[in-house]
Structure 1
Amino acid sequence: MSGRGFLSKYFIGAAAKNLKGTEVDPKVSRGHEFQGVDVFRAFVGTPSDRETIPVTYLWMDDSGEDPVRLELTGTWYNSRKRQPHRSPEYRLYYPAAAEPVVYRAKENDTLFLCMTADRRVLAILCPLGSSIEQKLLWLFGLSLTSGFELSQRDIAGEGGRDVDFAARFVLEEIGIEPEEATPAAFEQLLRKFGLVFPPTAKLSKFARDTVKDVDPVAQPDKTLMAWMEHEEALFRHMEKEVLAERLRTGFVSGNEVDVDGFLKFSLGVQNRRKSRAGYAFGHHIEAVLQANAVRYKREATTEKRNAADFLFPSEEEYADPVFPAARLTMLAAKTTCKDRWRQVLAEADRINEKHLLTLEPAISRTQTDEMQKQNLRLVLPQEIHQSYHEDQQGWLLSVENFLEIVRGRE
């Protein structure tokens, strides 16, 4: 179900560097420019005079908050124009309006410069060692240098990685929605439900029923990913049809434009996306467990009314103090972790090692090290493992690995 096209459909080139204090700290310098970016002229060009270019400035971190995003411009110029005896050195000057993004960064934080296919530069700033830094380095196939100079990739020339589920995940975080071919089952979906979003359980079952060549017993990792990708594609195409129909009717109240109605509708779209993905994930995990004849209780109550997403083998055995704790297992399910993984630690006091199944690629070493200290083990579909560093991968579990653990405790 992966393989929706190459990254070159969306980007011409990408680069990354660590930032100097002179670039982002107003106490050090108010020069308002990114330095050491001369090689990026391979994508921006080498104008003889200062050139104003469209730049989107983003601050992203692991807080779980939406990125701070400013649609502005920048000035691309040769800082040595008045020194003809020296080779050109191009820099990117950012305006004062970009300060709410740029001044969030500190020395040694990371800057990504990305030239999009429509020739807008994304200037993404993020903390050093953060998960978003690791995601973007993985997405673009970049590594940071020991100095403060750019390392970059010619994505248009190389094609870039395929836009699979993990790559799509990262692209959407930076505000790019990859194109998708219409799923073969989409017309069948419309005939069955019309232009009305079906309940999440029904849409998930429809997605599973219309995916071919998967086996949740022989290939649980591949199957879970295929189900999630297929449902995501079906939902997004349904969403486009529903939104188009709603926009055609407009937002008018009497003779006035209904701004509040539009904002409420827009917020509803975003909330539906987030909540539906979480429910779908839970439905598909449950289907894998059922196919593998594993005993479990979904949304089981433990201590203090805490609820575990999946408790093995049952709620009754968990509540029985005689039943060995070593034979109990719990699994939390979160499509994305961010800092919310800590919530899992309060679930199921009798179980020492917690398990968390997620679809989030490239979580930082800092976060996974902390998870290990807190005795929480990450479970991810096997194909997402490759987005993590090699030294992290040995600690990760696949869905198949987790099922083996549960069966061994039955």
Structure 2
Amino acid sequence: MNLVPALWLYGGRSLDRDQEMKPGYLSEYFEGVAAKRLSAVEADGTRSNQHEYHATRKVRAFLGSPEEKTRIPARFLYLTDDDSDPVVEDAFLTLYNCRKGKPRSPEYHLYFPTTNVSLNASEGDLLVIAKKRDGSLLVIIAENGSGIGRQIEWLFGFVDLVHPGFFVKSELETEQDRIEFASRFILENIGIAVEASEDTYLDDMLTRFSGRFPTTREFSTYARSTLKDLSPRDQPDLVLMTWMEREEILFRTLERYLIADRLSQGFTGKIGARNVDVDGFLSFSLSVQNRRKSRVGLALENHLERLFEENGLRYTRTAITENRAKPDFLFPGAAAYHDPAFDSLKLTMLGVKSTCKDRWRQVLAEADRIDDKHLLTLETAISTHQTEEMAAKQLQLVLPRSLHQTYTPAQQAWLMDVSGFTELVRERQGG
């Protein structure tokens, strides 16, 4: 149920919320967001039974200042790098003036109930309270020092949260707030379905692919064909992200149409007195999720393959090395790798993972002849602890240049971009 009126009050002016929303920016999904580090009394139930956050005046700029206690529906999430699936629980936050009826300035608090999320919280964890367009709240708690916590900070543009109290953003239409490839995936990890489509290509895709999903290689080739005047040799970082962004939008466009078409056919089957095929629906839903997960990694490999070809690099994709390991890319190729006389210092291997998590360690065992290995990912804001361990294991992280900004300055000095990697391989292959 929508508890927010069509008109809302902000800064003394009554504004139509739809007019405030700017497509393609965070403002399309959120009206305001506040963030802080949890204090001991906010995180530890043994030290305080109040279960409250202090709703400062800036927080109330987007939550309001109601006369009576107001219960606001909220979805709580606890995020950690150790588990790809967050702890999720639906509950509420209660906004109220704890000084009501007293001759003092109002002081508002946000009461939160005990949930599985609050039970996981610890002092120093990141707390984010975001007001969604439907009036409900998204309450995110991310483990202190985690990569996912840094991703959330970067997404909403919070840089320094060391001081107590909330930092608040109600302007969500700056260039930082533009929703692009990296931010779209972070949003979807916290349950925000981002609508992105390019309907001008829909009829062409339906005709070309006969109303079905093509192979990932076919779709990657098609996505690149819709983009002209790009120079993979001069701007490899920009080109790779442009190809990935275009394929993602085109895929979502085709997917939305095909899913709607399938749903319109229904899922029929007799269950008691009802005519519903639950297993069929669940199977279809699972296939959609699996397709999304597997496709991104394969698309990234497909576009990298084309990029390497355009840069004149010799390689073998998924060559077999020791113990039947299969590095994603081996330069200059499998024949050179298995030739004992070939100088191992001129060999290069590249693992490719759209997201890393702890899976980066798999790359370490994929080519024994190569001591210094490389891993390309689109993962934003990997924790300092993880990147330090990578460096200690002689694994160099490679990211498109536009994603470097999500890392700390110290990490950025160590990171390699796609241009730097292609230059390295070109030098090892004799220019």
Q: Same fold (TM over 0.5)?
A: yes
2:31 aligned with 1:15, yes or no? no
Task: Give the TM-score normalised by structure 2.
Answer: 0.89
Between the aligned partners of 2:175 and 2:30, the Cα distance in structure 1 is 9
Between the aligned partners of 2:24 and 2:173, the Cα distance in structure 1 is 15
Is the 1:7–1:161 contact (alpha carbons within 8 Å) kept by the matching residues of 2? yes
C-alpha deviation, 1:55, in angstroms: 0.9
Aligned to 1:155: 171
Aligned to 1:92: 110
C-alpha deviation, 1:113, in angstroms: 1.0
Aligned to 2:261: 245
Between the aligned partners of 1:248 and 1:182, the Cα distance in structure 2 is 22
2:214 aligned with 1:198, yes or no? yes
Between the aligned partners of 1:34 and 1:69, the Cα distance in structure 2 is 20
C-alpha deviation, 1:183, in angstroms: 4.9
Q: Which moved more, 1:179-188 or 1:101-110?
A: 179-188
Between the aligned partners of 1:146 and 1:83, the Cα distance in structure 2 is 33
Aligned to 2:352: 333
2:59 aligned with 1:40, yes or no? yes
SS of the counterpart of 2:319? Answer: strand
2:147 aligned with 1:126, yes or no? no
Aligned to 1:78: 97
Is the 2:52–2:109 contact (alpha carbons within 8 Å) kept by the matching residues of 1? yes
- Aligned residue identity for 2:182: A
Listed one character per residue, the Cα deviations across residues 27-67 of structure 1 (whole Å, up to 9, x for unaligned) are 22333223465631111111122101111101111124212
- Shift of the 36–325 alpha-carbon distance from structure 1 to 2, 3 Å rule, reads farther
The 5 A counterparts of 1:96-245 are 96=114, 99-156=115-172, 161-245=177-261
Between the aligned partners of 1:293 and 1:144, the Cα distance in structure 2 is 43
Q: Percent identity?
A: 46
- Shift of the 144–219 alpha-carbon distance from structure 1 to 2, 3 Å rule, reads closer
Listed one character per residue, the Cα deviations across residues 359-383 of structure 1 (whole Å, up to 9, x for unaligned) are 1122222221221122111111111
2:280 aligned with 1:264, yes or no? no
Is the 1:298–1:310 contact (alpha carbons within 8 Å) kept by the matching residues of 2? yes
Q: 2:391 aligns with which of 368, 372, 383?
A: 372
Between the aligned partners of 2:175 and 2:27, the Cα distance in structure 1 is 5
- Aligned residue identity for 1:379: V
Between the aligned partners of 1:283 and 1:309, the Cα distance in structure 2 is 11
Is the 2:44–2:123 contact (alpha carbons within 8 Å) kept by the matching residues of 1? yes
SS of the counterpart of 1:73? Answer: strand
SS of the counterpart of 2:295? Answer: helix
C-alpha deviation, 1:395, in angstroms: 1.2
- Aligned residue identity for 1:351: I
SS of the counterpart of 2:177? Answer: coil
Structure 1: which 5+ residue stretches go unaligned?
none
Is the 2:197–2:253 contact (alpha carbons within 8 Å) kept by the matching residues of 1? no
- Aligned residue identity for 2:110: L
Higher relative contact order (CA 8 A, sep 6+): 1
- Shift of the 10–65 alpha-carbon distance from structure 1 to 2, 3 Å rule, reads same
C-alpha deviation, 1:100, in angstroms: 0.7
SS of the counterpart of 1:372? Answer: helix
Q: 1:27 aligns with which of 32, 42, 46?
A: 46
Is the 2:315–2:329 contact (alpha carbons within 8 Å) kept by the matching residues of 1? yes
- Shift of the 312–89 alpha-carbon distance from structure 1 to 2, 3 Å rule, reads same
Is the 1:17–1:144 contact (alpha carbons within 8 Å) kept by the matching residues of 2? no
SS of the counterpart of 2:374? Answer: strand
- Shift of the 145–205 alpha-carbon distance from structure 1 to 2, 3 Å rule, reads closer
Q: Which moved more, 1:182-191 or 1:118-127?
A: 182-191
Is the 2:26–2:173 contact (alpha carbons within 8 Å) kept by the matching residues of 1? no
Is the 2:319–2:329 contact (alpha carbons within 8 Å) kept by the matching residues of 1? yes
Between the aligned partners of 1:365 and 1:4, the Cα distance in structure 2 is 33
Q: 2:363 aligns with which of 328, 344, 349?
A: 344
C-alpha deviation, 1:390, in angstroms: 2.1
SS of the counterpart of 2:92? Answer: strand
Alignment root-mean-square deviation, CA:
1.9
- Aligned residue identity for 2:108: Y
Q: 1:295 aligns with which of 307, 310, 314?
A: 314
- Aligned residue identity for 1:193: F
- Aligned residue identity for 2:308: L
Listed one character per residue, the Cα deviations across residues 67-125 of structure 1 (whole Å, up to 9, x for unaligned) are 2222222211122335433x3222221223xx111111111111011112222211100
Is the 1:143–1:151 contact (alpha carbons within 8 Å) kept by the matching residues of 2? no
Structure 2: which 5+ residue stretches go unaligned?
1-21
Say how many residue pairs are matched. 405
C-alpha deviation, 1:159, in angstroms: 7.7
